[in-house]
Structure 1
Amino acid sequence: MSEKHIDDVSGVETTGHVWDGIRELNNPLPRWWLWTFYLSIIWAIVYMFLYPAVPWFGGATKGYLGYSSRAEVAADLADAKAAQGVLLEKIAATPVEDIAKDQELLQFAIAGGSAAFKVNCIQCHGSGAAGAKGYPNLNDDDWLWGGTIDQIYQTIAHGIRYDQDDDTRVSEMPAFGEMLEPEQINEAAAYVVSLSGGTPKDPSLVEAGGTVFAENCAVCHGETGEGLQEFGAPRLSDGIWLKVNSEAEIAQQIRNPKHGVMPAWLGRLGEPTVKQLAVFVHTLGGGQ
């Protein structure tokens, strides 16, 4: 049996290992560290018996206390739903225009509407409700069907050109390519550009385009292009465009118009959620 090696400088026994002439001192571990280590082992054993811990064939062991974090979360969610249920019932029984009169109900509706918007509406209108080409911006004052809270509710509830809802909003711009000559369409497009302060490629077409517009377009879009919300006809005298933004695209829209479809959400989401959505959209800044 080899004799223990004692370090000459410190007088401490070494481990007996040697690396390139270097030896490692065999100092004992600090007592505080050892006690912490032993207590950790004891705590782990106690925890294993008290709480779900050991994986088994049918799931983890249940533990003596029967605690479950999932069950706790489920109970919290149930309590939250119960608390919400009172306010949801109140929203369902309150006319949408009166929700803003109750501050607690208004705050709840805005929060709920914001959540519902993120799940159901951002795909078309964007996360900030700024819209995109063909999808309306909900932050401005340009409303096709009106921006009062009742009108917004009607639009969300029954949709636009949604053939599965009898109360859906319906308006279709006719294809004037079948009724007007190509030159007349170009004239009308030039006139529409001028309505919003733009300069058409050929300004000489504007005067004739005004006549074409008055005879064919003013009945829906108004004599000065201010639009008519009763028909869902957009305003043409501002710089906000839904589907087009150039003279060529305006001419194409006159020739063969695009018609968007918005689904009816009442049957999918229910009365309280649709009311919350209407309240939320109304508060974005563009509501009338």
Structure 2
Amino acid sequence: MHDFVSNFWPWYIFILVAGSMIWLFYLVFSQSHGVKDKSHKIEPTGHKWDEDLEELNTPLPRWWLQLFIATNVFGALYLLLYPGIGVYGGLLDWRSADFLGEGKTGQYETEMSTADTKYGALYDKYLQQDINALTSDKDALVTGSRLFSTYCIQCHGSDAGGGPGFPNLRDTAWQWGGEPDIIKQTISGGRLGAMPAWGPVLGDSVGDVAAYVMSLSGKQSEGNLDVGKEKFTQLCV
């Protein structure tokens, strides 16, 4: 059973691909198997561009023609053996699902299965431990550091200080909460970080709110911190 919404598209693809390849074969052979004129001379065809740029009737190099034919033959054989034309499955009946067996599909499942076989025992050991206990496990910290360097530093920086526009993970201000379970939830499910424009809402209090937010990480800025905290609590929390 195919995934097309109607039978029109498989036939459309088949006719387009098969027709194009047949036409290319015909074009090549019709132009390369004519009667050869041994007295043929390379002469202008009469087509000119830019006053002195002329088109000659020079035949294509033989290797170029052979490469063109080989490319078409390869394409025809590939489409004959493997799926690529509409719902035709190919003579080899090849499917990506065959990598894992019936009921499994795709490269993603294959790679996940391989990774689970290779690293499953290691992660299962950590999953059975409390998060607080893992903070004193040197092997767990090394593993976590490597994972952070692979997946997190692009936004949060190599020192976890936060890149431009991204949170600083080294201070004590946690937007979504700093408890271990909440941090785990943030890592596993992510957070929606898109914030609407608050300028029209805050008005002249924008500077006060900015000063208060900066004060959370120990930075100082001009502004009324009390007003900023009040507005932040009302509108931003």
Q: How does the TM-score come out when normalised to structure 1? A: 0.37
Q: Which is helix-richer, 1 or 2?
A: 2
Q: How does the TM-score come out when normalised to structure 2? A: 0.44
Q: Greater RCO between the two (CA within 8 Å, min separation 6)?
A: 1
Larger Rg: 1
